[in-house]
Chain A
Amino acid sequence: MLIFELSRPGRQGAAPSSLKAGGASEIPGDQLRTRPPRLPEVSELDAVRHYTRLSQRNFSIDTHFYPLGSCTMKYNPRACNAAALLPPFLARHPDAPADTGQGFLACLFELQEMLESVTGMAEVSLAPMAGAQGEFAGVAMIRAYHDARGDAARDEILVPDAAHGTNPASAVMCGYRVREIPTDADGNVDVASLRHAVGPRTAGLMLTNPSTLGVFERHIIEVGNVVHGAGGLLYYDGANLNAILGRVRPGDMGFDVIHINLHKTFSTPHGGGGPGAGPVGVNATLAPFLPLPVVGRNASGFHLLDERDCPRSIGRLGAHLGNAGVLLRAYIYMRMLGAAGMRRVGDYSTLNANYLMAELKRAGFEIAFPRRRASHEFVLTLKALRDETGVAAMDVAKRLLDKGFHAPTAYFPQLVPECLLIEPTETESKQTLDAFVAAMKEIREEAGRDPQLVRGAPHSTPLRRLDEARAAREPDLAWNPH
């Protein structure tokens, strides 16, 4: 049932009935709307009940283990939400002068400093509103750097073939051509191919480390030397920073520019697909190009730096200062962790992933890179299972829903056939991980005994498997009564 189908003409919800009807108007008649928009007319209780019931049709971290690889679905502490919702923060207008928001700006300034410390970068801007916007800003800064040196021949960004799809898409948005670098058998960047690819056209290399294959890039020092030697810059995609938090810093690895996903590593909620936040960090050379605004501090307090302070900035990515409420939540989380807590994040997320990998391996599952340590995630391939039983990785993913687990990321990275990318995060207990292993074993047993059971999964969710081909062939994208 859609909210529209609950609608009854004339029924009122939370409309502010004290508002005076009539009042002055100077809107010319030919500018007026003639037919009202088709919004539902429901009571407040109708709406509350409808959306509460819809919420119950979701899996979430608060209700289920959610080992979605590359997404870092860790617990989102409620304290972060509660303090970010304090009325003075919520009521603050983005254009209110800095002197009316010193408490708020102090949090953001300290967040910049803490992010600089944990990443080893010289300066940070909080402006990007998601990881992909951080990537855009990072690559735009690489371009601004080369342009400022009059080095206009560099028109290529190198991206490993295992990279997340946003990397090539971001490079293209900055006007670059994308050149893919192959991966070797152990999941590292193929350094020989990289050497062959770099040259006077190389603007930079975008790298996720640990990679999307769930392993640390062993040749990172060499990779950095090759790219820098060719005059290119090194971009760090912070999607997997959680794995090495407190252990290795991107700045120490030689990266010139990075982005960080606060909704992954720093535990801000994923919200059903955002809002996230994707701050960017740079070394001192690139600092003048940071996107605006940046929070500054002088004798009179905290304030926002603008184009007059930073004339070489790549510019602005949004109307205000980024997803401020998300930034506050990350700030609170980081303050609760402190230095020791940061290191525990890296340690225990890696412990959990390696334990889960070891247990699944012991149970006979095939690990894609068995000679490697897992980072905070690892790749499983179910190709053998598919060949033997016809049960594919997607079927296993759907069957996991029946067992009370959200599915891992399926069919990514694309290099590994029939793969699941599994990221347990540090906030899950050994008992949860053991239960997940037991579920995987059960499913494999079911696949041998009754493959149709698994291929028909899920059976216990509110709906059974949905027809995605139909949705795309006959798009029905909005409710349209006849």
Chain B
Amino acid sequence: MPFIPHTEQDVREMMAAIGIGSLDDLFDEIPPALRAGTLSGLPPALSEMEITRLMHERAARDGAWLNFIGAGAYEHHIPAAVWQIATRGEFYSAYTPYQAEASQGTLQVLYEFQSMMASLTALEVSNASLYDGASALAEAVLMAVRAHKSSRRVLMPVAAHPTWRKVVRTIVRNQGIELLECPYDAAAGRTSLEALDRFARDDLAAVVIPQPNFFGVLEPVDELADWAHARNALAIAAVNPTALALLKPPGEWGARGADIAVGDGQPLGAPLAGGGPYFGFMTCREDLVRQMPGRIVGATLDRDGRRGYVLTLQAREQHIRRAKATSNICTNQGLMATAATLHLALLGPAGLAAVARACHANTLALATRLARVRGVTRAFSGAIFHEAVLRLPVPVAPVLAALREQRILGGFDLGQDYPELGHALLVCATETRTEDDIARYGEQLERIIGESRRPGAGASGKRS
């Protein structure tokens, strides 16, 4: 029996010890009307060899693609050591470190993780991870409202990730929290400081500040943080961790620094993997720590005075506080945080900065190359990090479909989330894209747009 070690003799002895005649007797307290017959709708069991073959077939069907999509999930090189170590059984098959003395490995890794994230964001404390960047932003909004006490309104830029905004709405809507949308400057592609005046008299609990924003554009973070603080609102930074190797960290924004920083940790060692698992990170000012959701690891001493690590400040959490907990979260994304710790240790400060610089330079090279195609322009004047919005002279969807015929994923179509931008495409070239990759994309885009602009032609001759 797969994964069940019992021999027939074991089963006989065990049933005798319990005093039952058959396994059915184990379920004699269940009302007979509820007992299920044979399960229908389940395929027959496959052996390890058979399931492996099936998965290889399905993987082969999906194949390999030259990817230029970012939009919140980024293709980075992950050193081989990261997942070889992270999938060691001692990390992979352990659980939440409730028994600290039997979990010093996981606990120390998480303490190192917290230290790295705190330093990367220049804030004092970090938790041990949340589910992903979008849900971390929702938790930050809830945390800011708890900390602020008097207001339940939060200012959310339209230039923040559109799906993250939806997630925040889903998670906070039933608690009477109001999200006010703040527009972006149509020319620069960043949150409009002039438009902020419209909200000057609102009592706000917090202002969300994405850096970079969904368009890849850098926000005026100093001005936004100061504007929030001048109105007694908290500043919540929503940041890309790779970018923080180059960009001013949230703890140094404006005169006082952001109060809370969150983001998606996927760029730090998590493969794209179709959408997850990734992890959310959250750091904050020290005096907000008791409002923080999620597990937190702290250093302490054992009975012999040796340094060790434990889960701490647990009275915030659901298993103690129940209905009054800061959040319902318990299981987080521990293994992804472990991988991120390994990833950051292997890259070091110089390695992470080199990756960030290469992403920036490659995306500039890509945007420059694509903007040489007739009719293609950069949509915004604002400086970018590693994504850029391009305006095409033709609809985006057929162009992307034609690129897919060349095994190229050409970017993220902004038409659904930002219809006001017209034929707008968000592109990204991380450190994993080569000059040849960029040249190939340029040539194909040139051909496809050229063909589609000929009178009577579709985006691609082949698709008709």
Chains A, B in direct contact (C-beta < 8 Å): yes
Instruction: Give per-residue flags for B100-115: 1 if the beta carbon is below 8 A from chain A beta carbons, else 0.
Output: 1111111011111011
Nearest chain-B residue to A472 (Cβ)? B312
* Size of interface on A: residues with Cβ below 8 Å to B: 201
B42-A339 in contact (CB<8A)? yes
Nearest chain-B residue to A273 (Cβ)? B334
Q: How far is the CA of A216 from the CA of B365 in the complex (A)?
A: 63
* Size of interface on B: residues with Cβ below 8 Å to A: 203
Which of the listed residues A174, A263, A409, A479 has the most CB atoms from chain B within 10 Å of its own CB?
A479
- Tell yes or no: B36 within 8 A of A by CB: yes
B42-A118 in contact (CB<8A)? yes
- Tell yes or no: B444 within 8 A of A by CB: no
Nearest chain A CB to B247's CB is how many angstroms away? Answer: 6
B163-A319 in contact (CB<8A)? yes
B34-A252 in contact (CB<8A)? yes
- Tell yes or no: B77 within 8 A of A by CB: yes
Residues of B within 8 A of A178 (CB): 322-323
Nearest chain-B residue to A174 (Cβ)? B174
Count how many pairs of residues, one from A and one from B, have CB atoms less than 8 Å apart in the complex. 688
- Tell yes or no: B230 within 8 A of A by CB: no
B329-A315 in contact (CB<8A)? no
A132-B330 in contact (CB<8A)? yes
B330-A336 in contact (CB<8A)? no
B67-A129 in contact (CB<8A)? no
B332-A321 in contact (CB<8A)? no
Nearest chain A CB to B2's CB is how many angstroms away? Answer: 6
Within 8 A of B (CB), among A106-146: 106-107, 110, 113-114, 116-118, 120, 129-133, 135-136, 140, 143
Residues of A within 8 A of B187 (CB): none
B299-A426 in contact (CB<8A)? no
Nearest chain B CB to A52's CB is how many angstroms away? Answer: 6
Nearest chain-B residue to A251 (Cβ)? B36
Residues of B within 8 A of A113 (CB): 41
Kindly identify which residue among A221, A252, A324 contacts B36, using a CB–CB cutoff of 8 Å: A252
Nearest chain B CB to A320's CB is how many angstroms away? Answer: 3
Instruction: Give per-residue flags for B184-196: 1 if the beta carbon is below 8 A from chain A beta carbons, else 0.
Output: 0000000000000
Nearest chain B CB to A435's CB is how many angstroms away? Answer: 14
- Tell yes or no: A104 within 8 A of B by CB: yes
Nearest chain-B residue to A173 (Cβ)? B328
- Tell yes or no: A359 within 8 A of B by CB: yes
A355-B91 in contact (CB<8A)? no
Residues of A within 8 A of B333 (CB): 129, 271, 274-275
A247-B27 in contact (CB<8A)? yes
Q: How far is the CA of A317 from the CA of B21 in the complex (A)?
A: 47
B4-A479 in contact (CB<8A)? no
A273-B128 in contact (CB<8A)? yes
Residues of A within 8 A of B73 (CB): 93-95, 319-320
Can you give 19 contacting A-B residue pairs, CB < 8 Å? Answer: A2-B108, A2-B112, A13-B348, A19-B357, A22-B361, A26-B384, A48-B81, A57-B108, A64-B102, A97-B404, A103-B60, A267-B3, A272-B103, A274-B335, A315-B170, A325-B273, A325-B277, A372-B29, A477-B312
The 8 closest A-B pairs by CB, nearest first: A62-B89, A271-B335, A338-B45, A320-B275, A23-B361, A103-B58, A15-B351, A315-B170
A478-B277 in contact (CB<8A)? no
With contacts A20-B358, A466-B301 taken as known, whether A58 is within 8 angstroms of B104 at the C-beta atoms is yes
- Tell yes or no: B26 within 8 A of A by CB: yes
Residues of B within 8 A of A270 (CB): 93-96, 331, 334
Residues of B within 8 A of A101 (CB): 62, 274
Q: How far is the CA of A132 from the CA of B131 in the complex (A)?
A: 11
With contacts A36-B349, A86-B59, A165-B318 taken as known, whether A31 is within 8 angstroms of B218 at the C-beta atoms is yes
B124-A478 in contact (CB<8A)? yes
- Tell yes or no: B302 within 8 A of A by CB: yes
Instruction: Give per-residue flags for A424-461: 1 if the beta carbon is below 8 A from chain B beta carbons, else 0.
Output: 00111110000000000000000000000000101001
